Structure 1
Amino acid sequence: MRVAFVSNVVYPFVTGGAEKRIHEIGTRLADKGHDVTIYGRHFWDGPAETTHEGMTLRAVAPETELYTNDRRSITEALDFAARAIHPLNKHLRNDEHDLVVASVFPYFPVLAAKLATVGTDTPLVTTWHEVWGDYWTEYLGHLAPFGKLTERITARTPQHTIAVSGITADRLAEIGPPRDRIRTIPNGIDVEQIQNAPLPEQGYDVLFAGRLIEHKNVDQLLEAFDAVAADHDVTLGIIGDGPERERLEANHRTLSHADRVQFLGFLDDYEDVLGHMRAADVFASPSTREGFGITYAEAMAAGCTVIGADHPDSAADEVIGHAGFLVEPTVDALTKTLEAALCGARPSSDPVKRAQRYDWDAVADQAETAYQSAIDGSW
């Protein structure tokens, strides 16, 4: 098959979950002999069209800043979408691609990709990582109605829909396609890479990794750890950066055992994150909003005892299953489970075995099957 991915950012030149998914699936499809092209911004060195790991990278817009005041730039998304329509349509009319796959966020590229298919019979496949709904109010404030409307329009655009989790599929069905028309294909990990990542010089007993934003509830983890540290000689490492970092560091300094907590910031080398997971005994992330929760899968593959939050807006229960612990997102519940895990409590299922289902090879096979069904009309 001949696949055209549409994404304003391209991995590894820009690192993020959506673009990494395209890279991992795309390179595996290319290894199988499929023709893969990514339409994106020109973040790589060299010519506008080049070959990278068996895939064709085709720049349809120049490199630019993606964020404005710590928020994804609406102007950037609109600009990329507008620039992508003509070149993608031209290559589709020349019968160069069998299908188009667009990663949903930031929405406008999906609408552009659909417009580009006009005049052709090329199917459009979309990959939904999250459905924000009421979270738009927190993210955009008075502009939230614009975000909600754009999300709804995108959801109702004719498409072959993939969601990365059941909770995302359920929420998407509330505003767009029927639930039985949405396929669920999870995000993936490289189990072998995780298990061979080099160990750090200094590890931590308890680890968090993720963006430091409010719904990750790192403040709860700090309080729970401080309570447990009164009876255990343990350490906590926090990997990540974000708008909550300054507040969290200030709160951390008030803890009784602040000297056992270290904020590591954003680690440029992904294998450094994996190495810290391998070194940790417990991975705790009491986040209440996860469209998938890739760090849970990574930590399970690394052999950690994983603790996630049991919350209706989080797919943690889908990812972890019985291979970790799910707790109410409160300090007391987290403290109790963290204490038990540090004392040797283990989940009823093997976390490493659970993680194998998310290996990129398995995910790419599922994607290949879905893409082919869109092409042959059997979706």
Structure 2
Amino acid sequence: MKIAVISNLFYPILKGGGEKRYWEIAKRLARKHDVHVFTLRWGNLHEEEIVERVKIHRIAPFTEELYDKKTGKRRIKPAIVFSLELLKKFDPRGFDIIECNVFPFLHCPFIKFKAMTHKIPFVLTIHEVWGGYWKQYLEGSLKGGVGIWIEKRIANSADHIIAVSDIVKEQIIDELTVPKAKVSVVSNGVDLELTKQAIKGIRTDPNKIVYAGRLVEHKRVEVLIKAMKFVLQSNSKAHLEIVGGGPELNQLKQLAKTLQLEKKITIHDYLESYADVLRIMASGSVFVLPSIREGQGIVLLEAMATETPTIGVRFPRSGVLNVIKDKQTGLLVEANSAKAIAEGILTYWNNPQLKEEIITKASNFARQFDWNNITAEIERIYHQVLSKR
């Protein structure tokens, strides 16, 4: 197959779960198929490049910041530039199938138009459904309503949709009114071999708590920082290590300083090496994801694969609920509650038998999400979609 993948962020920019997913799947598909990725050209990256047989086409240079420093939200300009450049430069002729990352939405109608014109199947990957969140994000019911309408129209334009979790699939069917038969679930994955190599010889620090991920509002990292006040009352040796950049980086550093926790909290910006992130995860005694909005939570699977027990929060329609089963593959606690997170951490520390039972179940659970298996399922769906043409 000749496959076109459309994603505004791609290798080597692997800061979020979506970018990581496309890279891991694309390089595996490229072992058997002709894979082309069309993306923005960030910074000084090469315009054309072949990496692990994946042909990368960076169609437009873009050097500005992805996030607005004042609001912490993604800026709309990259989405506009990407959409217009795709309209001008993306030639779909010769491709068997086109897969498009739904975010940041604006480019999808252009790709659908080109795919439809040349009778090429158009597949969307949806990591999360925004739905009512549009009204909060766009700060108003009217603008939010437009966002909801656009999201629904784009979803219904696809020949097939790949959702990253069962919860996202439910939202696509219920909120975006897409027929059930047009939606498949293919989860995010874990590189089990790389994880095994990366964490070899790493010793667990019994007092370390770890968070890894983007530093954006819905991740609620500030709640985890505040939880340290409660944790330290029971364990003065406790230390929190945070890995990840984003618009809230400086704000979170200031919060740690305000709470007089600078010596108890280490905050890294993005680390270039994925293996280094895995090593930090493996060195922790607990991994915490306080996020209230996740399509799945790929970082939880990664933590489970490193045999680090996890804590997530209960929040309606969060993909975390598909990954963590309370007291089985992890612990679930109340959302937006520093005290509840602290209690979850102390539950692990005070109950070593429960901790070991959860580690065993969680690591076994994570093994089924090997990227090789995920890629095989994507390939199967492509063939299924093509067979219906």
The residue type equivalent to 1:287 in the other structure is S
Which is worse superposed, 127-136 or 57-66? 57-66
Matches within 5 A, 1:80-229: 80-89=82-91, 91-92=92-93, 96-142=94-140, 143-173=143-173, 174-197=175-198, 205-229=208-232
Equivalent position of 1:354 in the other structure: 365
Structure-2 change in CA distance of 1:333 and 1:102 (3 Å): same
Structure-2 change in CA distance of 1:42 and 1:192 (3 Å): same
Quote the Cα distance in structure 1 between the aligned partners of 2:382 and 2:276. Answer: 34
Contact persistence 1:7–1:109 (CA under 8 A):
no
Equivalent position of 1:314 in the other structure: 318
The answer to whether structure 1 residue 325 and structure 2 residue 331 are counterparts is yes
- Give, in angstroms, the shift of residue 248 of structure 1: 3.3
Quote the Cα distance in structure 2 between the aligned partners of 1:222 and 1:167. Answer: 28
Contact persistence 1:226–1:256 (CA under 8 A):
no
- Give, in angstroms, the shift of residue 127 of structure 1: 0.3
Q: Point out where structure 2 has 5 or more consecutive residues left out of the alignment.
A: none
- Per-residue deviation, residues 28-72 of structure 1 (Å, max 9, x unmatched): 1111x2111112233487874442211222343334436251433
Structure-2 change in CA distance of 1:82 and 1:361 (3 Å): same
Number of equivalent positions: 373
Which is worse superposed, 199-208 or 360-369? 199-208
TM-score by length of 2: 0.87
Which is worse superposed, 1-10 or 257-266? 257-266
Quote the Cα distance in structure 1 between the aligned partners of 2:13 and 2:21. Answer: 14
- Give, in angstroms, the shift of residue 81 of structure 1: 1.8
Matches within 5 A, 1:356-371: 356-371=367-382
Quote the Cα distance in structure 1 between the aligned partners of 2:222 and 2:374. Answer: 34
Contact persistence 1:12–1:20 (CA under 8 A):
no
The answer to whether structure 1 residue 71 and structure 2 residue 73 are counterparts is yes
Contact persistence 1:229–1:257 (CA under 8 A):
no
Quote the Cα distance in structure 1 between the aligned partners of 2:254 and 2:21. Answer: 35
Structure-2 change in CA distance of 1:267 and 1:309 (3 Å): same
Structure-2 change in CA distance of 1:85 and 1:265 (3 Å): closer
Instruction: Please state whether the residue corresponding to 1:215 is helix, strand or coil.
Output: helix
Quote the Cα distance in structure 2 between the aligned partners of 1:201 and 1:305. Answer: 15
Structure-2 change in CA distance of 1:336 and 1:36 (3 Å): same
Quote the Cα distance in structure 2 between the aligned partners of 1:308 and 1:315. Answer: 10
Deviating runs (4+, > 6 A) in structure 1?
Answer: 44-47, 199-202
Q: Point out where structure 1 has 5 or more consecutive residues left out of the alignment.
A: none
Percent of matched pairs sharing the same residue: 31
- Give, in angstroms, the shift of residue 165 of structure 1: 0.9
The residue type equivalent to 1:196 in the other structure is Q
The answer to whether structure 1 residue 338 and structure 2 residue 350 are counterparts is no
The answer to whether structure 1 residue 273 and structure 2 residue 272 are counterparts is no
- Give, in angstroms, the shift of residue 107 of structure 1: 1.0
Quote the Cα distance in structure 2 between the aligned partners of 1:44 and 1:67. Answer: 11
Which is worse superposed, 237-246 or 249-258? 249-258
Equivalent position of 2:268 in the other structure: 264
Contact persistence 2:208–2:283 (CA under 8 A):
yes
Contact persistence 2:230–2:339 (CA under 8 A):
no
The residue type equivalent to 1:285 in the other structure is L
Structure-2 change in CA distance of 1:10 and 1:336 (3 Å): closer
Instruction: Please state whether the residue corresponding to 2:310 is helix, strand or coil.
Output: strand
Contact persistence 2:189–2:369 (CA under 8 A):
yes
Contact persistence 1:100–1:122 (CA under 8 A):
yes
Quote the Cα distance in structure 2 between the aligned partners of 1:201 and 1:131. Answer: 39
- Per-residue deviation, residues 98-136 of structure 1 (Å, max 9, x unmatched): 110001101122212111113322111110011112222
Quote the Cα distance in structure 1 between the aligned partners of 2:14 and 2:280. Answer: 22
Structure-2 change in CA distance of 1:258 and 1:189 (3 Å): same
- Per-residue deviation, residues 224-257 of structure 1 (Å, max 9, x unmatched): 3322222223211122233334443344335476
Quote the Cα distance in structure 2 between the aligned partners of 1:340 and 1:287. Answer: 20
Equivalent position of 2:20 in the other structure: 20
TM-score by length of 1: 0.89
Structure-2 change in CA distance of 1:251 and 1:37 (3 Å): closer
